[in-house]
Structures are given as structure tokens and as C-alpha cells.
Amino acid sequence: MPDYKTVSLTLILLGLFGASISILLGFIWVPGIDPTTVQQNSAESYRILFWHVSFAWCSFLSFLMLFVGSILWYLKNDDFGWRLFSTGSDMGLLFGLGVITSGPIWGSVAWGKPWDWGDLRLNSFALLTSVALFLVMSRKSQPDTNQTRDTLSIIGLFGFFLVPITAVATTLYNRRHPPIIIIEGEETGLPDEWLFILTFSFFCFCLLFIGISILNDMVNQLESKIEKYQRAIDRGED
């Protein structure tokens, strides 16, 4: 049996190292954008893309994990499904927080204000992260019973339906957030260097995502084991 602690630590360190390289390359290799086409002082701030977008994509992966876990638990009461659900909600909160803290800092430079309450992308993403926060808090505060798991998995399913809305939000109703720029089109598309660093950064974030997920799952498993021991001690069993 592999030592999962070492595996997760290796993946996390590799992911962090690669992601740091992507920041460095983003500064020294990738050409900047024409400062006359953007708001004053915001030309350099576009380099946030390399981590901000990878964070957002990993949060979508987390919500996919949450969705699969919710379905497995709700339909089959499968314990593996609950493990996916628990890890997915924790990871959704982690990566969601990364997106909604870094985004407004960039927004305050590029738009002149950190948040726009009328923008569908910003608000649907904030709602998605709030759902993850709610699920994490509920899991920690409620007794771990089948009824609690059923209720939370239904909320997890609801949360996932916000993912496609968030993903197409910039196409459907765009006020502030930049549109989808990865796909090559008349007004979209990225220079090759940008695309390379973004892909590399996302790959490193995937390593990080897998490493943290393994670690998170180990902690959740051990916590549930200690809870079982606690119940046995309370009942006076050995």
C-alpha cells in the first residue's frame, strides 16, 4: 500500500514549485499588453490570469467531485460517494476563496472598483463559494448521520447547477468580467506564450489539487475513525 502522506506531500510540493515557476515566467517571459488599451496602471495586473484562472478551473473540478459524490451518496448511500462529497466541498471552498479574493484585487485596478453586484459571473461564483462554505460548516457542526448526509448531498447537487451558469455567464450576461478568451475567435484568443504559461500553470494546479485532495481525504477518514472510537468509548466498549 503506498504511503499516501508522502505521495500527497510530493504532489503538493511539485505543484507549488511548478505554479511558482509559472508566476516567474509570467513576469519575465510573457510579453505585456499595450498600456494604452487598458485603464491607467492596470497593464501589468493582467498577469494575475495565470493563477486566478487556474484557481477557478480547479474550483470547477472540485464542484464536479462534489456533484459525483452527492449523486453516489444520494442514490446508493455509497461511502466512497460521501468521501468525494467531503473532499469536493473542502476543495471547492479552498479554490473558490482563492478566486474571490484575488479577483476583486485585480478588479480594483482594472475596473476601478473591486466588485460589481450586477455582473452575473462574479455573483454566481460568489454564490457557488458560499454553497461550499455552507456545506463545510454544516458537515463540521452537524452530527454525522444518514439524514444529514442526504440533506447536504441535495444542497451539493444544487450547488453544481451553478457551475454551468457561472461558466457561460460571461457569454450570456457580461458587464465587467472579461469574456472567455482561451478559445480562438475574432475578438478573443491569447498569444502563444500566454496560452503556454496558462496551460502549464493549470497542469501544476492539477498536481496541487490531487495532492491536497488526498491529504484532505486522509484527514476526513481519520476524523471519522476517531469519532467511531469516541462513540465506542462513550458506550463503554473496548
Q: Give the residues lining the site for another protein (CB under 8 A).
A: 5, 12, 16, 23, 41-45, 47-48, 51-52, 55, 94, 97-98, 101-102, 105-106, 108-110, 208, 212, 215-216, 218-219, 222-223, 225-226, 229, 233, 238
Contacts of 23 (CB under 8 A, 6+ apart): 50, 51
User: CA 122, CA 108: separation in Å to the nearest integer?
Assistant: 13
CB of 12 to another protein, least distance (A): 6
The set of cell numbers assigned to 192 is 502563444
Nearer to another protein, 38 or 64 (CB): 38
Write 26-34 long-range contacts (CB < 8 A, 24+).
Answer: 26/50, 26/197, 26/201, 29/193, 29/197, 30/191, 30/193, 30/194, 30/197, 31/191, 31/193
Helices assigned H by DSSP within 29-145: 49-76, 79-110, 120-141
Choose between 43 and 165: whose C-beta lies nearer to another protein.
43
What's the min distance (Å) between Cβ of 128 and another protein? 16
The answer to whether residues 152 and 73 touch, using CB atoms and an 8 Å cutoff, is: no
Nearest to 122 by CA among 177, 159, 59, 178: 177
- Nearest approach, Cβ of 236 to another protein (angstroms)? 11
Q: Which is nearer to another protein, 174 or 220 (CB)?
A: 220
114: Cα within 13 Å, side-chain hemisphere: 7
Query: Which residue type sits at 101?
Result: T
Query: Looking at beta carbons only, is 9 or 155 nearer to another protein?
Result: 9
Q: How far is the CB of 232 from another protein (least distance, A)?
A: 8
For 2, 73, 101, 143, 147, the CA distances from 154, given in Å and listed in that order, are 34, 10, 27, 17, 11
Question: What's the closest the beta carbon of residue 175 comes to another protein, in angstroms?
Answer: 21
Report in angstroms how near the CB of residue 24 gets to another protein at its nearest: 11
Cβ 5 to another protein shortest distance, Å? 7
Task: CB nearer to another protein: give 81 or 103.
Answer: 103
Q: Which is nearer to another protein, 16 or 167 (CB)?
A: 16
Q: 20 vs 151, which CB is nearer to another protein? A: 20
